[in-house]
């Protein structure tokens, strides 16, 4: 089933593309109740992957945008284990500009960040964004682990909960967690990222976009997501502070919406993790942002029904748009990092 979904008919692909575009176009814009006690799977909601963009949808969308947008360049930085192209979207107006990298779907079952990235890329094609793009260089990797996202892997996905044409899994086709491969760099996906992006461009900031489980709380309410700066001992206090400023832009823009509820992520200190490894090896200021709820998993408390898609995509878009603006206009340099001192660490019983 997983393989056939990759080679399905053009007609089916076109139908799925239409759905994907609708998804990226239909953003949550309201100020509904805080997500704190938002929808929950609990076995009675639809978890369906057919509304998510497939790899083919993403590739087609990017090629279409590349044809439409003068400022955008589309590069293939390598191939996945199964031979899918890994796409890098580039807006490089001036080598003297600060450069920010957005990375989505290191884990293939964390897909709404990808949908948000497609929306953000499309919006950068608006004439109103031209002046913004003169002052910042932007790199996007929308679907890093395309094999995992398509469930085209060399191990069984029995018991995964989502319905639809495919399952999505955290691991790459070799059952390796790519976000633990940033030191050894043994997988083709990780090698492509390091050789053709991190060593090829002078990246100042990076946001690594993920999804986490659904049950984490802060102050009694379920969080909409959680954030963290590099916690490896191998980075300077100055780089940690710069990373905290990146987190400040995200936190304050999401928090003021009324529906965002952000906690501190409880993350490890190993350099094998992208957030730490990119900071330690290249001096990049990094932020991890974990959105609530995964697209598919075998463990029910990790997956989230579609009712939450709108605000979770919106949260990711807001994260990218706010940080692009703050880096472009330099306001990130004045971002207040004091909130980190009191930001509660999320937990399932908090």
- Which residues of this protein are in contact with Zn ion, per CB under 5 A? 107, 110, 210
Phi and psi based region of residue 304 (left: phi greater than 0; alpha: psi -120 to 50; beta: remaining): beta
CA-CA distance, 246 to 220, in Å (whole number)? 26
**Residue number, 110 or 165, with CB nearest to Zn ion:** 110
Is residue 139 within 8 A of residue 99, CB to CB? The reply is yes
Q: How far apart are the first and last CA of the chain?
A: 40
CA-CA distance, 248 to 289, in Å (whole number)? 12
Closest CA to 90 of 203, 188, 5, 187: 203
In whole angstroms, the minimum distance from the beta carbon of 3 to Zn ion comes to 24
Regarding beta strands 285-292 and 205-212, do their DSSP bridges make them parallel or antiparallel, or are they unpaired? parallel
**Residue number, 130 or 299, with CB nearest to Zn ion:** 299
**Residue number, 175 or 329, with CB nearest to Zn ion:** 175
**Residue number, 5 or 169, with CB nearest to Zn ion:** 169
The encoded tokens of residue 102 equal 């957005």
**Residue number, 210 or 244, with CB nearest to Zn ion:** 210
| The Cα angle at residue 273 between residues 270 and 276, in degrees rounded to 5 | 70
Closest CA to 291 of 143, 144, 105, 139: 105
In whole angstroms, the minimum distance from the beta carbon of 110 to Zn ion comes to 5
In whole angstroms, the minimum distance from the beta carbon of 144 to Zn ion comes to 10
In whole angstroms, the minimum distance from the beta carbon of 107 to Zn ion comes to 3
* H-helix or E-strand spanning residue 189: helix 188-193
Q: How many helices (H) and strands (E) does the chain have?
A: 10, 10
CA distance readout (Å), 63 to 68, 193, 299 = 9, 20, 35
Q: Which residue is nearest to Zn ion (CB)?
A: 210
**Residue number, 213 or 310, with CB nearest to Zn ion:** 213
**Residue number, 84 or 107, with CB nearest to Zn ion:** 107
CA-atom Rg of the chain in angstroms: 19
In whole angstroms, the minimum distance from the beta carbon of 194 to Zn ion comes to 18
**Residue number, 141 or 332, with CB nearest to Zn ion:** 141
Instruction: Determine what percent of the chain falls in helix, strand and coil, rounding each to the nearest 5.
Output: 40, 15, 45
In whole angstroms, the minimum distance from the beta carbon of 85 to Zn ion comes to 22
**Residue number, 41 or 91, with CB nearest to Zn ion:** 41
CA-CA distance, 163 to 174, in Å (whole number)? 23
* H-helix or E-strand spanning residue 247: helix 237-255
The sign of the CA dihedral 217, 320, 270, 189 is: positive
In whole angstroms, the minimum distance from the beta carbon of 106 to Zn ion comes to 6
In whole angstroms, the minimum distance from the beta carbon of 117 to Zn ion comes to 15
In whole angstroms, the minimum distance from the beta carbon of 294 to Zn ion comes to 8
């Amino acid at each position: 089933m997983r393989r056939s979904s990759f080679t399905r008919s053009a007609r089916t692909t076109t139908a799925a593309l239409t759905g994907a575009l609708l998804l990226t176009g239909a953003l949550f814009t309201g100020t509904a109740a805080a997500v704190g006690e938002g929808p929950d799977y609990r076995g009675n909601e639809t978890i369906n992957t057919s509304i998510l963009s497939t790899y083919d949808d993403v590739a087609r969308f990017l090629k279409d945008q590349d044809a439409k947008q003068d400022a955008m360049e589309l590069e293939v930085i390598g191939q996945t284990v199964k031979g899918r192209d890994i796409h890098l979207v580039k807006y490089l107006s001036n080598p003297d500009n600060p450069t920010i990298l957005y990375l989505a779907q290191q884990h293939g079952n964390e897909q709404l960040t990808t949908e948000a990235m497609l929306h953000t890329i499309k919006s950068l094609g608006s004439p109103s964004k031209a002046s913004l793009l003169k002052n910042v260089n932007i790199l996007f990797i929308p679907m890093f682990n395309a094999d995992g996202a398509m469930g085209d892997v060399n191990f069984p996905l029995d018991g995964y909960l989502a319905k639809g044409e495919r399952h999505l899994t955290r691991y790459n086709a070799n059952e390796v967690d790519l976000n633990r491969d940033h030191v050894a760099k043994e997988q083709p996906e990780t090698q492509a990222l390091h050789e053709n992006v991190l060593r090829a461009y002078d990246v100042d900031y990076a946001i690594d976009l993920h999804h986490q489980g659904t049950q984490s709380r802060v102050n009694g309410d379920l969080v909409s997501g959680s954030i963290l700066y590099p916690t490896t001992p191998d980075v300077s206090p100055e780089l940690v502070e710069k990373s905290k400023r990146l987190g400040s832009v995200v936190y304050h823009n999401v928090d003021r919406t009324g529906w965002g509820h952000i906690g501190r992520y409880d993350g490890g200190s190993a350099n094998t993790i992208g957030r730490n490894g990119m900071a330690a090896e290249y001096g990049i200021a990094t932020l991890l942002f974990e959105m609530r709820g995964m697209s598919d998993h075998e463990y029910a408390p990790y997956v989230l029904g579609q009712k939450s898609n709108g605000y979770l995509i919106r949260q990711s878009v807001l994260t990218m748009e706010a940080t692009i603006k703050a880096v472009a206009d330099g306001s990130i340099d004045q971002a207040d990092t004091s909130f980190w001192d009191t930001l509660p660490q999320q937990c399932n019983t908090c």
